Structure 1
Amino acid sequence: MTADLRSAADGRAGFHHVETWVFDLDNTLYPARHDLWAQIDARMKAYITDLLGITPEEAFTLQKDYYRRYGTSLRGLMLEHGIDTAAFLDHVHDVDLAGLDPSPRLAAAVEALPGRKLVYTNGSERHARNVLNKLGMGGHFAAVHDIVAAEFHPKPTEEAYLRFLRAHGVEAPRAAMFEDLARNLEVPHRLGMATVLVVPPGERIEARESWEFEGREAAYVDHVTEDLAGFLEQVAAA
């Protein structure tokens, strides 16, 4: 898959109308081949193991069950166990960014987009800022909307997106959403946003949950690309 600039002429949303560009963070603004998400995953498992006094295997099963059912493992832990959200976020996002390389081409492509750029993540703002600074994109985004700003309502729930749109004064029909999970694009598409699924090149299926691949061929995915920088360069040029 390469950059895909299908337009409204074939039933796909174009970008000429877009004023606000919204990007997910993890596995979207940096490739999934970096081990950041693996680190976060491992730290969540360790946290749940200690919190509930269960085996790591049981913790991992619970973690993934909550992730699928509630949108984030954190949401499930809040509802089912009443955990300290700040302590959880501090623990799971205490990751090593040494292996994350700056991305000057992607940074330039993001900067060249006309209009406002926002990051919308189910993670924490501190984690997002650390990652953006390491990528060389710290000054490229007007705001970061994190899980705390969302009052812990995670993507893909409609409530989460409506809170995001209200918080930043975003008009959905004049915005585009970039995500690595297809299911997180269903609501944005329904609200009128152009949607782009970012699929890592050479992605290993065994590295992710099988359900995370669901919806990739759905009508709510307007565009698919494995080269985000190249895709954005073509958008800006068009």
Structure 2
Amino acid sequence: MEYSQVQVPKYDCLLFDLDDTLYPLSTGLATSVLKNIQAYMDEKLGIDESKIPDLCNLLYKNYGTTMAGLRAIGYDFDYDEYHSFVHGRLPYENLKPDPVLKSLLSSLPIRKVIFTNADKVHAIKALNRLGLEDCFEGIICFETLNPTHKSTASDDEDDTEFIGSTQSSTAVNGTSGVFDIIGYFSQPDAQPSGLPKTPIVCKPSESAIEKAIKIANIDPHRTLFFEDSVRNIQSGKCVGLDTVLVGKSQRVKGADYALESIHNLREAIPELWEADKIGNVSYTGSGVVAVETSVTA
């Protein structure tokens, strides 16, 4: 008899962003999302059309999403209505089934979870259009991170399901007491730390990523995080995740890997498949363990 070491895979979960990560930016959905957000700000919130582009840029830069920023500076609106307006008229026909990616994902013997700032309806629709709906065990989305759609800043909701609740915000449109973020940053000594907080939990907030980790019950040190956003990658790195920047061929600070396309997955990170090649392996416990194997003379 002899003893051999069982090799335990480095990762036991893959956490995937959805938009512009599992499909390319060239589909045009991101452009349409921005156009629809700006139309919502004009038509539904009554924001001066000439201020919208600058406002969008500042809110996205400082809050992660324009929606989170709008709520922070004082606009009240129904979250489901917002998502319906912004995602309801996207060119989903540009998303085609991707059998190559489906085959890649299906061949990976590792947990796979979606982590998106988008709402549940959009996430499910996009995955269905791509033919990837069966490749993931769960979706962490807007409703998951914001299950009760609270109108006050809070990050202490527990026991959240993957898909989250279907409750709607009861807030109505309103513009009283709106914080002038454009005016604020026109001041020479303006700092982001002086901005009002948002009640919305979303990437790239480290607390949002930590919440997703808790909800999915994953070990951040054994999880690989796929994202097209550099700042989301960097936040993920700060909470202990290994990271893959998708859509770029060069690594940036905070990225452990860079993939020009998600289709390059096997070539760039072949070790993800090595678990299938290891003989006499039993993945129980953690670390390297001794397992007795028989030897024929």
Q: Normalising TM by the smaller chain, what interval?
A: 0.7 to 0.9
Which of 73, 79, 84 lines up with 2:78 in the alignment? 84
> Highest CA radius of gyration, 1 or 2?
2
Which of 111, 134, 137 lines up with 1:116 in the alignment? 111
* TM-score with structure 1 setting the length: 0.82
Provide the rounded CA distance (Å) in 1 between the counterparts of 2:208 and 2:87: 21
Instruction: Answer yes or no: is the 8 Å Cα contact 1:197–1:225 preserved in 2.
Output: yes
1:223 and 2:257 matched: yes
Distance apart, 1:29 and its partner CA? 0.3
Letter in 1 for 2:87: H
Letter in 2 for 1:146: C
Distance apart, 1:50 and its partner CA? 1.5
Provide the rounded CA distance (Å) in 2 between the counterparts of 1:57 and 1:16: 53
Instruction: Answer yes or no: is the 8 Å Cα contact 1:71–1:154 preserved in 2.
Output: yes
Instruction: Answer yes or no: is the 8 Å Cα contact 2:244–2:255 preserved in 1.
Output: yes
Provide the rounded CA distance (Å) in 1 between the counterparts of 2:226 and 2:271: 13
Provide the rounded CA distance (Å) in 2 between the counterparts of 1:131 and 1:235: 28
Instruction: Answer yes or no: is the 8 Å Cα contact 2:251–2:257 preserved in 1.
Output: no
| Equivalent in the alignment of 1:19 | 12
**SS of residue matched to 2:237:** helix
| Equivalent in the alignment of 1:196 | 244
Which of 55, 62, 67 lines up with 1:74 in the alignment? 67
Instruction: Answer yes or no: is the 8 Å Cα contact 1:124–1:148 preserved in 2.
Output: yes
> Cα gap change, 1:157/1:133 in structure 2, threshold over 3 Å: closer, same or farther?
same
1:129-188 per-residue CA deviation (whole Å, 9 max, x = no partner) reads 101011010111111111221123111111101110111101101111000011101222
Distance apart, 1:200 and its partner CA? 5.6
Quick check: 184-193 or 112-121, which moved more? 184-193
Pairing 1:56-71 to 2, within 5 Å after superposition: 56-71=49-64
Distance apart, 1:32 and its partner CA? 0.3
Provide the rounded CA distance (Å) in 2 between the counterparts of 1:178 and 1:79: 28
> Cα gap change, 1:200/1:34 in structure 2, threshold over 3 Å: closer, same or farther?
farther
Provide the rounded CA distance (Å) in 2 between the counterparts of 1:191 and 1:53: 38
Provide the rounded CA distance (Å) in 1 between the counterparts of 2:213 and 2:272: 23
Percent identical residues? 29
> Over aligned residue pairs, what C-alpha RMSD do you find?
1.9
Letter in 2 for 1:162: E
Instruction: Answer yes or no: is the 8 Å Cα contact 2:21–2:226 preserved in 1.
Output: yes
Report the number of matched residues.
210
**SS of residue matched to 2:245:** strand
1:166 and 2:200 matched: no
Instruction: Answer yes or no: is the 8 Å Cα contact 1:195–1:222 preserved in 2.
Output: yes
1:74-94 per-residue CA deviation (whole Å, 9 max, x = no partner) reads 101112212221111111111
Instruction: Answer yes or no: is the 8 Å Cα contact 1:23–1:177 preserved in 2.
Output: yes
> Cα gap change, 1:106/1:235 in structure 2, threshold over 3 Å: closer, same or farther?
farther
Which of 231, 234, 239 lines up with 1:183 in the alignment? 231
Provide the rounded CA distance (Å) in 1 between the counterparts of 2:108 and 2:49: 44
Unpaired stretches in structure 2, ≥5 consecutive residues: 1-7, 147-199, 275-297
Which of 149, 162, 175 lines up with 2:144 in the alignment? 149
* TM-score with structure 2 setting the length: 0.67
Letter in 2 for 1:87: E
**SS of residue matched to 2:134:** coil
1:33-82 per-residue CA deviation (whole Å, 9 max, x = no partner) reads 00111111111000001133234342222122111111111101112212
Provide the rounded CA distance (Å) in 2 between the counterparts of 1:78 and 1:216: 33
| Equivalent in the alignment of 2:196 | none
| Equivalent in the alignment of 2:92 | 97
Provide the rounded CA distance (Å) in 1 between the counterparts of 2:64 and 2:94: 27
